[in-house]
Amino acid sequence: MSNPFVHKPVSGSASDKTGRQDGTVPQPDCTGSKSTAVGSRGNRSFYSDVLSLAGSIFFAAMAGFFPLFCGGSYNIILASKYSAFEAITIFSAVFFVFFCLFKKVTLRSSKSSVLPTARPEVPFKSVVIRDVKKADITVILLVCFCIFTLLSSILSPYASALNSSGQSAVIFGSGRYDGLYVFALYGVVFVLSYFFVKFDLRCVLLVGAVTLIMSVIGIFQLFGINAFGLYPADIYDGYYAEFISTMGNIDFMSALMSLFLPLVFACFLSVDSDGKSEAFLLLCFFVGGFCLIKTDVQSGMIALLVTAALTLPLSLKTKRSPAKAIIFLQTSAALIWLCGCFDLSKGEGATVVEFRINPTITAAAVAVSALLFALFLLQRKKGLSKKMLSRLPAAMLIFEGAALLLFAAYMYFLFTPTDKDNALNQLYALLHGSLSQSSGSGRGGIWKYSFLMGLERPVLGHGQGCYKLAMDEFSARVGYTYYTSRNASLDAAHNEFLQLFCTGGILGLLSYAGAFAFLIARSIKRRFCGKYTVALLSAVVGYLVQSFFTFSIVEVAPVFFMLCGILLRSVRDAEKVSSPEK
Name which residue leads in pLDDT, 22 or 307. Answer: 307
The dihedral formed by the CA atoms of 61, 517, 134 and 569, expressed in degrees to the nearest 10: 20
| Alpha helix (H) residue ranges in 342-460 | 359-382, 386-413, 423-431, 439-454
pTM of the model: 0.88
Q: What is the DSSP letter of 419?
A: S
- Please determine, for residue 187, whether its predicted confidence score (pLDDT) is greater than 50: yes
- Convert the pLDDT of each residue in 502-543 to its tens digit: 999 999 999 999 999 999 999 998 888 888 999 999 999 999
Residue 421: pLDDT band with limits 50, 70, 90: confident
Closest by CA position to 556, among listed 543, 568, 565: 543
- Please determine, for residue 162, whether its predicted confidence score (pLDDT) is greater than 70: yes
Q: What's phi and psi for 353, nearest 5 deg?
A: -110, 120
- How far apart are alpha carbons 361 and 341 in whole angstroms? 9
Write down the pLDDT at residue 1.
46
- Please determine, for residue 320, whether its predicted confidence score (pLDDT) is greater than 90: no
* Residue range 245-268: mean pLDDT, rounded: 94
Name which residue leads in pLDDT, 268 or 174. Answer: 268
Stated as kind and residue range, the H or E segment containing 281 is helix 275-295
- How far apart are alpha carbons 361 and 558 in whole angstroms? 38
- Please determine, for residue 489, whether its predicted confidence score (pLDDT) is greater than 60: yes
* Residue range 175-188: mean pLDDT, rounded: 92
User: Picking from 121-125, 200-204, 529-533, 540-544, which range would have the lowest pLDDT averaged per residue?
Assistant: 121-125
Residue 128: pLDDT band with limits 50, 70, 90: low
- Please determine, for residue 106, whether its predicted confidence score (pLDDT) is greater than 60: yes
Q: What's phi and psi for 350, nearest 5 deg?
A: -155, 170
- How far apart are alpha carbons 550 and 249 in whole angstroms? 12
* Residue range 395-417: mean pLDDT, rounded: 91
What's the chain's average pLDDT?
A: 85
User: Picking from 133-142, 166-175, 482-491, 513-522, which range would have the lowest pLDDT averaged per residue?
Assistant: 482-491
* Residue range 316-335: mean pLDDT, rounded: 91
Name which residue leads in pLDDT, 57 or 576. Answer: 57
Are the beta carbons of 436 and 144 closer than 8 angstroms?
no
Name which residue leads in pLDDT, 390 or 35. Answer: 390
Write down the pLDDT at residue 452.
94
* Residue range 348-374: mean pLDDT, rounded: 86
Residue 7: pLDDT band with limits 50, 70, 90: very low
* Residue range 469-475: mean pLDDT, rounded: 92
- How far apart are alpha carbons 487 and 481 in whole angstroms? 10
